[in-house]
Amino acid sequence: MPGSKRSRRVSELLREEISRIVTQELEDPLIGLVTVTRVKLTNDLKLARVYVSILGDEKNRLDGLRGLERATKFIRSGMGRRTNLKYVPELEFYYDETIDYAHKIDLLLKKIHK
Confirm or reject CATH 1.10.150.110 for domain 2-113, answering yes or no: no
pLDDT of residue 3: 55
d(CA 47, CA 30): 25
Residue range 35-84, pLDDT digits in tens = 999 999 998 889 999 999 988 888 989 999 999 999 999 999 999 998 88
Band of pLDDT at residue 1, cut at 50, 70 and 90:
very low
- Give DSSP secondary structure letters for 92-111: EEEE--HHHHHHHHHHHHHH
Domain boundaries, the chain: 2-113
Per DSSP, the three-state class of 35 is strand
Length of the chain: 114
User: 28: closest CA among 59, 55, 56, 66?
Assistant: 66
**Which pLDDT belongs to residue 63?**
92
Half-sphere exposure of 80 (CA within 13 A, CB side): 12
Lowest mean pLDDT among 14-18, 55-59, 106-110: 106-110
pLDDT at position 6 is 83
Question: Is a pLDDT exceeding 60 seen at residue 23?
Answer: yes
3-state class (DSSP) for residue 56: coil
By three-state DSSP, how is residue 93 classified? Answer: strand
